Structures are given as structure tokens and as C-alpha cells.
Amino acid sequence: MTEPKKRGRWKPGQSGNPNGRPPGTGHVAKLRASIAVHVPEIIGQLVQAAKDGDVQAARLLLERVLPPMKPTELAVPLALPDGSLTEQGRAVLAAVSTGDLAPEQAARLLSAIGALARVAEIDELAERIEKLEEAHHANP
């Protein structure tokens, strides 16, 4: 039989060509270096154009300097019952139907309740298995 191919001759972080081209000597690096000389002048012209009413120049400057604002949701206090997860899910749906909770917030809450249900199910199964093993070892 043939021996399987050995993969990964080099360790992580080790170059397969240590004497290769040094970083920063490629075409892109040279292009960036030639543009970098003119960047202060270009930015000054963009600022002046924006001040003179050029909306595109203003937009370009603002998009590059200020990150876009993301909508944020306000926290909504919601009292969930201490009962079962099903009862808690019904309380979330009731809050949506009365307008106390936005549908997107409710969807995230229901998803969290579903994840909690899966965790609780795993805990319950682990406990059942542990009890079965104890009973099995006690009565061989």
C-alpha cells in the first residue's frame, strides 16, 4: 500500500519561502506610496469642496471619518412569570399583542427562551442518566 501524503511541511508562522520578496515591495505598496505623498493636499481640496457645498465631497469625508450610526433599541422592562418556559413565551407574545414590546425584541426573547429550553432539557437528560447509572450500579 502507498503511504498517505504528509501535509503541512511547515509549522504555523513559518514561511515556505523565507528568502522571497520582502513585504512592501509589490505593485500595490508602490502605488500607495506614490499616492501617500499627495494625501494631505487631496484631503484639503475635499474639505474645501465640502465647505463650498459639494455634497459628494462632504459625504466622502464624513463616511471615512465618522462611523455610521447604528440604530439602538431602548431596554423595555418586561416581567416574565416564574412559571414554565411555555408560560414565559406566552407572556412575551402577550406583550407584543398589547404593544408593550416590539416584534423584533419579542423574536429575540423567544429565541433566548428556546435556547434556555434546550439547556434545561440537556440538564434534565444528564440528571436522568446519572440516576439510571446509580440505580444500575446499586443493583448489578
pLDDT tens for each residue of 67-93: 888 888 788 888 888 889 999 999 999
Global pTM reads: 0.47
Residues 6+ apart with CB under 8 A from 87: 81
Using CA atoms, how far apart are residues 65 and 61, in angstroms rounded to an integer?
A: 6
pLDDT at 24: 75
The closest of 97, 132, 129, 93 to 113, measured between CA atoms, is 93
Choice among 64-68, 82-86, 114-118 with the minimum mean pLDDT: 64-68
**DSSP states of 70-139:** PP-PPP------SS-HHHHHHHHHHHHHTTSS-HHHHHHHHHHHHHHHHHHHHHHHHHHHHHHHHHHHH-
pLDDT at 138: 81
pLDDT at 2: 63
